[in-house]
């Protein structure tokens, strides 16, 4: 490691300043976004597409998405805003990829966990279409404790590996697995109460 | 098809939930990094401590070579001297750590090391350790020896933020440690910076810095001005008192500088003995990013 002088350190600028750059149509906005959030966004993509080249592509799509959205958007939490774009982009990329050949990733793994208790019959899909599943899931996530919400979002929204959740929560794998089981059970009850046929 | 529906439903989770998650995630990731950092430091310091203790014990038996701050050899640089880093602020801390290792090493991985320090009364504020009220004047000398660098990760919780310096070269300093406290009580921030060199603590009091709760913009610098050194908070511009050093043979020069990555502050410390002035080797100085993996 080499000595770094104070003048050589580049400080990440604040989110407000980055957003301002987008609004000013200054291309440094993308540079600064990349400097500050590249690693974070890359991880989101990697958990979904499991391919570094695809992640790079998703990163570019995300930056382009942010560039096209601001203005008019002025996100309250830039990181969340970028995460949502990245997730969408990564899922699109994953779907495109799986149309060509079957691929597996943490994304498929996490969803297969939920599929376990989703209806076995083909009519389920149709039924889900007719009901507001999104609202049910939103309500359910809101009803969770902060810790459970964190686990749910980590695992099923961002498709994070369990080992990462364990690392960030500072607890054991078995604890997280137990929590996941509880969350799944809770979701099952919620869906049943909303009269989804399970 | 049903997977797609489920994916779509989860994808359309409300933005405010995503925002809450991201904020919580950032907090938890920092805590995880802090746990990891503490672990690495403590493990490395345990090894160093054992080494230094064994050297000290062997020297203690040699009456012709008593250990004093002034008869230590000046730095030769090049990293041949094992680094000394003391991260245990009390014997109890060390014993607790060793006890944990003995009992179950795997348990240690999950042990939040911050807890070791969280509730321990800070002995550094014992009045006998400092001479309050005297503005300290450092002699202005243009050079010296870098001996340490640290990262000071801190949380908003009371007295939970603790930073340590790792001495890169220990030839002129027997013991070196640093603690940094912030107490977010109401709107007032109280910060203490305590440096221990050769067993003598130097306490720098940064009280009443008026900092807002956000904490992110705290900027504390140690500056040199008109033949005097001051500690200064850039945010409020208030001048901070330096307390007089008890050991007149060791001169310390502090050049703080903060590094805003949310709650991470980094600071440099510059320490020298007069004998070491011509032995500067900046290569010894190692900057370590707190978040560097």
Structure confidence by residue, pLDDT tens digits, B173-199? 333 333 444 433 333 333 444 444 443
- Test mutation, A157, A166, A194, chain B, max B CBs within 10 A: A157
Interface of A with B in 16-75 (CB under 8 A): none
pTM of the model: 0.47
Share above pLDDT 90 across residues of chain B, in percent, rounded to a whole number: 0
Across the interface, whether the CB atoms of A146 and B287 are under 8 A apart is answered: no
Residue A127's pLDDT is: 52
Nearest-CA distance A24 → chain B (Å):
24
| Lowest mean per-residue pLDDT among A5-14, B44-53, B109-118 | B109-118
Residue A150's pLDDT is: 92
A114 interface with B at CB cutoff 8 Å: yes
* Maximum average pLDDT range among A16-30, B104-118, B268-282: A16-30
B80-104: average pLDDT: 39
In Å, how far from its chain's centre is CA A144?
18
Across the interface, whether the CB atoms of A168 and B28 are under 8 A apart is answered: yes
pLDDT in tens, B127-138: 222 232 333 333
Quick one: pLDDT band at residue B2, thresholds 50, 70, 90? Answer: low
Distance CA A42, CA A33 (A): 12
B127 interface with A at CB cutoff 8 Å: no
HSE value, Cβ hemisphere, 13 Å, CA-based, for B170: 22
Average pLDDT for chain B: 39
Question: Nearest-CA neighbor of A138 among A155, A154, A152?
Answer: A152
Q: For residue B200, what are the contacts with CB-CB under 8 A and spacing of at least 6?
A: B129, B245, B246, B247
Neighboring chain B residues of A168 at a CB cutoff of 8 Å: 25, 28-29, 31-32
Identify which has the larger pLDDT, A66 or B79.
A66
Across the interface, whether the CB atoms of A157 and B13 are under 8 A apart is answered: yes
User: Does B91 have pLDDT greater than 70?
Assistant: no
Tokens of A5: 């002088």
Residue B3's pLDDT is: 60
Residue B246's pLDDT is: 33
Across the interface, whether the CB atoms of A80 and B261 are under 8 A apart is answered: no
B243-253: average pLDDT: 34
Q: Which residues of A79-109 are buried (b: 16+ CB within 10 A; e: fewer)?
A: bbbbbbbbbebbbebbeebeeeeeeebbbbe
Instruction: Lay out the sheet containing B164-167: strands in order across.
Output: B164-167, B145-153, B264-273, B250-256
B210 interface with A at CB cutoff 8 Å: no
Q: Give B261's strand partners.
A: B264
**Per-position DSSP letters for chain A, written without gaps between them:** -----GGG--PPPPHHHHHHHHHTT-THHHHHHHHHHHHHHHHHHHHHH--HHHHHHHHHHHHHHHHHHTTT---SSHHHHHHHHHHHHHHHHHHHHHHHS----HHHHHHHHHHTTS-SSTHHHHHHHHTTHHHHHHHHHHHS-HHHHHHHIIIIIS---HHHHHHHHTS-HHHHHHHHHHHHHHHHHHHHHTT---
In Å, how far from its chain's centre is CA B260?
16
B117-125: average pLDDT: 28
Residue A115's pLDDT is: 64
Question: Nearest-CA neighbor of B250 among B150, B176, B194?
Answer: B176
Distance CA A79, CA B25 (A): 11
Nearest CA in chain A to B12: A134
Across the interface, whether the CB atoms of B15 and A80 are under 8 A apart is answered: yes
Across the interface, whether the CB atoms of B18 and A154 are under 8 A apart is answered: no
Rounded to 5 degrees, φ, ψ at B286 are: -120, 125
Please calculate the CA angle B2-B8-B13 and round it to the nearest 5 degrees. Answer: 135
Distance CA A14, CA A32 (A): 9
ipTM of the complex: 0.78
A84 interface with B at CB cutoff 8 Å: yes
B242-247: average pLDDT: 31
Across the interface, whether the CB atoms of A157 and B23 are under 8 A apart is answered: no
Neighboring chain B residues of A129 at a CB cutoff of 8 Å: 5
Residue A48's pLDDT is: 85
Residue A184's pLDDT is: 86
Across the interface, whether the CB atoms of A134 and B22 are under 8 A apart is answered: no
- Test mutation, B6, B265, B284, chain A, max A CBs within 10 A: B6
Across the interface, whether the CB atoms of A84 and B25 are under 8 A apart is answered: no
Q: Give B204's strand partners.
A: B193, B242
Across the interface, whether the CB atoms of B1 and A146 are under 8 A apart is answered: no
Residue B35's pLDDT is: 64
Instruction: Tell me the pLDDT of chain A (198 aa) as tens digits.
Output: 233 333 343 456 788 889 999 998 988 899 888 888 888 888 888 888 888 888 888 999 999 999 998 888 888 888 889 998 998 888 888 888 776 665 567 777 776 777 655 554 445 555 555 457 888 888 888 898 888 899 999 988 888 888 888 888 888 888 888 888 888 888 888 888 877 666
């Amino acid at each position: 490691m080499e000595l770094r002088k104070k003048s050589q350190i580049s400080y990440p600028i604040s989110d407000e300043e980055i957003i301002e750059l987008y609004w000013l149509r200054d291309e440094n906005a993308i540079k600064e976004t990349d400097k500050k959030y590249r690693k974070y966004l890359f991880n989101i993509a990697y958990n979904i597409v499991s391919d570094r080249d695809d992640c790079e592509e998703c990163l570019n799509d995300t930056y382009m998405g942010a560039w096209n959205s601001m203005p008019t958007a002025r996100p309250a939490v830039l990181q969340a805003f970028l995460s949502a774009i990245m997730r969408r982009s990564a899922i699109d990329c994953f779907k495109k990829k799986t149309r060509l050949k079957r691929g597996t990733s943490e994304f498929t793994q996490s969803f297969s966990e939920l599929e376990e208790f989703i209806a076995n019959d083909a009519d389920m899909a149709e039924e889900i279409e007719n009901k507001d599943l999104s609202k049910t899931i939103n309500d359910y996530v809101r009803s969770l404790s902060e810790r459970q919400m964190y686990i749910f979002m980590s695992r099923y929204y961002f498709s994070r590996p369990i080992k990462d959740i364990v690392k960030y929560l500072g607890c054991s794998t078995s604890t997280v697995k137990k929590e996941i089981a509880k969350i799944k059970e809770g979701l099952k009850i919620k869906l049943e109460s909303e009269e989804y046929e399970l | 098809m049903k997977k797609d529906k489920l994916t779509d439903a989860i994808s359309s989770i409300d933005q405010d939930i995503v925002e809450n998650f991201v904020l919580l995630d950032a907090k938890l990731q920092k805590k995880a990094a802090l746990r990891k950092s503490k672990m690495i430091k403590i493990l490395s310091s345990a090894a160093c401590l054992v080494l230094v203790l064994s050297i000290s014990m062997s020297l203690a038996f040699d009456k012709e070579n008593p250990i004093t701050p002034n008869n230590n050899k000046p730095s030769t640089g090049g990293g041949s001297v094992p680094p000394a880093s003391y991260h245990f602020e009390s014997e109890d801390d060390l014993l607790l750590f060793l006890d944990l290792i003995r009992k179950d090493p795997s348990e240690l991985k999950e042990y939040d090391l911050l807890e070791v320090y969280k509730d321990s009364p800070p002995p550094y504020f014992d009045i006998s350790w400092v001479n309050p009220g005297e503005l300290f004047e450092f002699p202005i000398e243009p050079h010296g020896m870098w001996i340490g660098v640290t990262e000071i990760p801190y949380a908003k919780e009371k007295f939970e933020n603790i930073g340590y310096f790792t001495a890169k070269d220990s030839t002129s300093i027997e013991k070196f440690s640093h603690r940094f406290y912030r107490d977010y009580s109401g709107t007032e921030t109280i910060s203490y910076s305590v440096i221990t060199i050769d067993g003598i603590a130097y306490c720098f009091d940064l009280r009443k810095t008026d900092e807002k709760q956000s904490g992110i913009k705290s900027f504390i610098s140690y500056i040199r001005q008109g033949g005097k050194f001051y500690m200064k908070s850039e945010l409020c511009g208030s001048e901070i008192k330096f307390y007089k050093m008890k050991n007149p043979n060791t001169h310390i020069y502090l050049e703080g500088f903060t590094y805003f990555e949310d709650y991470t502050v980094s600071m440099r410390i510059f320490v020298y003995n007069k004998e070491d002035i011509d032995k500067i080797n900046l290569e010894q100085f190692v900057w370590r990013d707190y978040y560097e993996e």
